A and B are shown apart, each in its own frame.
Chain A
Amino acid sequence: QVQLQESGPGLVKPSETLSLTCTVSGGSISNYYWSWIRQPPGKGLEWIGYIYYSGSTNYNPSLKSRVTISVDTSKNQFSLKLSSVTAADTAVYYCARDQFLVRGVRVLGRYMDVWGKGTTVTVSS
């Protein structure tokens, strides 16, 4: 079955860029959307954005000016870059498969059905 694994530095300095990669194993990255979600300590879930395997993206407006999500189909990976980080960006970062349910041309649903285990990123000098 499909598995996701996040990787990247666990500590980032303020004002620098957070960079994470999600590796997809057990299946192809093609024909799916892929999302990043984060969870600050003791708080709820925040969707960061998604990318389609073809490269088209959709970002949360609250983070749009600082976020870039990219995909490398040859490596079955997609990545997150978040620039100008502050302590407020300290969180567990998850990658997830953003599944869609289609009947004909109609999208009946979108849901995140496979998640990585998450990686903790702390922003501190």
Chain B
Amino acid sequence: DIQMTQSPSSLSASVGDRVTITCRASQSISRYLNWYQQKPGKAPKLLIYTASSLQSGVPSRFSGSGSGTGFTLTISSLQPEDFATYYCQQSYSTPWTFGQGTKVEIK
């Protein structure tokens, strides 16, 4: 299985801050990397697919980059509704695997 490791596991930030979350794969996954946002009691929501493509309806303050084994999710200006847990997920080979999550909290 391909192991996905996110850092940090949690972070505290203020509204308006630029936030970056890192995801590392245990082997090269090209650009087969997706990002999801999950709020408490809700299903995950797709934000970014194939490393950098913005899902329809997702605000442009979200962006993704990377290829191979290293990827980043950036929120350019954190908004109140962005406080949530973020997961990366590889779709290079089955079983699909997720990172452990990064919880973004209010500072």
Contacts and interface: CB of A to CB of B under 8 A. Distances in A.
Contacts of A59: 95
B43 A44 contact: no
Size category, A interface: 20 to 34
Nearest to B94: A58
Interface residues of B, number: 25
Contacts of B99: 44
A58 B95 CA distance: 8
A60 B1 CA distance: 9
B43 to A, nearest CB: 4
B95 A44 contact: no
Interface of A: 35, 44-47, 58-62, 94, 99, 101, 108-113, 115-118
Given A109-B34, A109-B91, A115-B45, 9 more contacts: A44-B98, A59-B95, A60-B95, A101-B50, A108-B50, A109-B31, A109-B50, A113-B55, A115-B43
